Structure 1
Amino acid sequence: MTGRQPPVVLDGGDRRCVLLLIELRRLVDGLAPGTVVHLIATDPAAPIDLPAWCHLTGHAYLGPVPGAHPATYALRVSVQAKTTDPDRPWHLPSEPSPQ
């Protein structure tokens, strides 16, 4: 036995990526580093927004899950991840709100 845990799945359904990132941010906050998350997302912005969010936060973007239907994207929770604003997960807490 390898001790590898199955991925945690977040089914985003047809929700827009903005809402998915809010849910994803809340989910990863409660997961141990090294946990793999599979995000199911049909929003056409997901393959752009998810890697960008991972780059911002430091989580490892693992890419699309081969053969998954509907589209599923994988990431690995990082021990050194940056925390983002809970309601605006595409912003670091020190960034001012847009006026």
Structure 2
Amino acid sequence: MRAGPPDPESPAVVVDGGDRSCVMLLLELRRHTDTLPAHSLIHLITPDPAAPVDLAAWCHLTGHSYLGPVPADRPTYALRVSPASRRTAPRAPWHLV
């Protein structure tokens, strides 16, 4: 069972995507969204130019909230973990289970 909203002062969970492909990034995000409390904030760092489109689409599919780009030294995008998200297949982040 997931806990209530985290402390508003708690920092975002930062996920450095390095040079991983979109599918690998989404699999890592899936692991984080499965284990973090609802309403947690995640910042994903990735130079992938398709990230804003892919993240927004994945969040729409799963029910998480895509919050958009974050001002930072490297390309960073924010999302918020939904308390009522839809799970994806463990090895197929574009397929709901």
TM norm structure 2: 0.89
Aligned residues: 91
Which residue identity does 1:79 align to in structure 2? Answer: P
Unaligned runs of at least 5 residues, structure 1: 94-99
Q: Shift in Å at residue 3 of structure 1?
A: 4.3
Which residue identity does 1:55 align to in structure 2? Answer: H
Taking the TM superposition and a 5 Å limit, the aligned residue runs for 1:62-77 are 62-66=67-71, 68-77=72-81
Match of 1:45 in 2: 50
Bigger strand share: 2
* SS of structure 1 residue aligned to 2:32: helix
Larger radius of gyration: 1
Match of 1:96 in 2: none
Taking the TM superposition and a 5 Å limit, the aligned residue runs for 1:4-83 are 4-66=9-71, 68-83=72-87
Residues of 1 paired with 2:8 and 2:48: CA distance?
Answer: 33
Displaced runs of 4+ in structure 1, greater than 6 A? Answer: none
Residues of 2 paired with 1:30 and 1:84: CA distance?
Answer: 14
The 1:46/1:88 distance shift into structure 2, 3 A limit, reads: same
